[in-house]
Amino acid sequence: MFDVVKLLGNVFHPQAGERLVVVADHPHGTIPDDPLWEERRQMASEWREALAANGDAWGIDVGPLVTYPAVGAHNGNLPLDAGDPVPLGRALADASICVALSEFSPTAPMVDWSKNHPDFRCATLPGVARRTESTALAADYAEVARRCQILKDRLDAAHSADVRFSTGHEWHVDLRYRPALMDDGQLPRDKEGRVINLPSGESFLVPYEGEREGEASRTEGEIPVLDGDRAHIYSVSENRIVGVGGDGADTMNAYFAEDPARANIAEFAFGCNPDAVVWGNVLEDEKAGFHWAYGRSEHLDGTVGPGAFKGPETIVHQDIVYARECPIQVASVVLSGDAGDVEVIREGEYTLF
């Protein structure tokens, strides 16, 4: 039986005197509703009720469920002046703990908010579904944290990675100048990182983006990406997608041409939640294995933020997943550092645990 009180108690370690708010976005105008989104809003209401019933035991205040009009794109700017029963910005300002069950990911703007509100931390669950309550959300988070730490240590020791996909395509990734981060499902009040995803379970970093004068990024190669039943090949040079090949690739070439900031390689990541399954939901899929992302990166300690895009409507951070159940997987990932090479993934499986 899923226990949201136990889960969020283990995640946040609430302290007496804190205030918790649950928020959720809702459809409006040209953004249509769907059954999973409706289910998610019901989950938000149920979670809030369960947390409120336990508030006295933790010594915290649990505010009303706050809903806000959906942004319409992942990691777009939040409508802080809108919301029900209070504006979203006011609800966030009054809270030290936030749980966001949304259709569109608010992770990046929540990171921005936390930078100016030091006693604020947030777990975002974009696209979460009730079925996740019996899979990745029910994982042993001590084991999740153990795996995250192993992978973080390997990433910190590496200056490059070489990825060979099951299609035979190869990709070299420049990992210099970046500390690795991890989303291990732990967010106590004194933690330096202020925003995590739930379900959790990944270690990651932003590849070097070439921001140092006179020193280009060495990230280059070819990445296969499945688009429906068609495989596209993303050509990468100096950490940017410079072209897309394959049947029907004109649409993606136009997409990256519309706003060149989208073409930035924004994340290199190892999902390691042992109970995560791949079912077409990026939030859970990415915790099941290797993935990468393009677009916005500053919320992960990169350099490409909202100001690099043409406008709020073109901001994106899009993850692409190659976990064990995916049609395209990774045959090998080798991390290289001063101490030598370590093969982290072989034939789609981790070698470290």
Does residue 271 have a pLDDT over 90? yes
User: Hey, what amino acid is at 45?
Assistant: S
pLDDT, average across residues 50-76: 96
* 278-328 pLDDT, tens digit each: 999 898 999 999 999 999 999 999 999 999 999 989 999 999 999 988 999
pLDDT for 193: 84
Mean pLDDT of the chain: 96
CATH of 4-128, one of 3.20.20, 3.30.70, 1.10.8, 3.40.50: 3.40.50
Does the pLDDT at position 137 exceed 90?
A: yes
19 neighbors 97 (Cβ within 8 angstroms) = yes
Whether 1 shows a pLDDT value over 80: the answer reads no
HEC secondary structure over the chain? CCCHHHHHHHHHCCCCCCEEEEEEEECECCECCCHHHHHHHHHHHHHHHHHHHHHHHHCCEECCCEEEECCCCCCCCCCCCCCECCCHHHHHHHCCEEEECCCCCCHHHHHHHHHHCCCCEEEECCCCCHHHHHCHHHCCHHHHHHHHHHHHHHHHCEEEEEEEECCCCEEEEECCCCCCEEECCCCCCCCCCCEEECCCCEEEECCCCCCCCCCCCCCEEEEEEEECCEEEEEEEECCEEEEEECCCCHHHHHHHHHCHHHHEEEEEEEECCCCCCCCCCHHHHHHHCEEEEEECCHHHCCCCCHHHCCCHHHCCEEEEECCCCCCCCEEEEEEEECCEEEEEEECCEECCC
Mean pLDDT of 143-156: 97
The arithmetic mean of pLDDT across residues 337-344, rounded, is 97
Give me the torsion for CA of 60, 92, 107, 309, rounded to 10°. -170
Domain positions in the chain: 4-128, 139-350
Task: Report the pLDDT value the prediction gives residue 14, as an integer from 0 to 100.
Answer: 98
Residue among 174, 115, 128, 177 at smallest CA distance from 284: 128
Q: Mean of the pLDDT values across residues 55-62? A: 98
User: pLDDT tens digits for 192-209?
Assistant: 889 999 999 999 999 999
Cα dist from 18 to 53, 120, 121, 185, 324, whole Å: 15, 10, 11, 19, 40
Q: How far apart are CA 33 and CA 25, in angstroms?
A: 11
pLDDT over 90 percentage in the chain: 94
Contacts 24+ apart (CB under 8 A), 241-245: 241/265, 241/294
Query: Using N-to-C axis directions, what is the helix angle for 35-58 and 4-12, rounded to 10°?
Result: 70
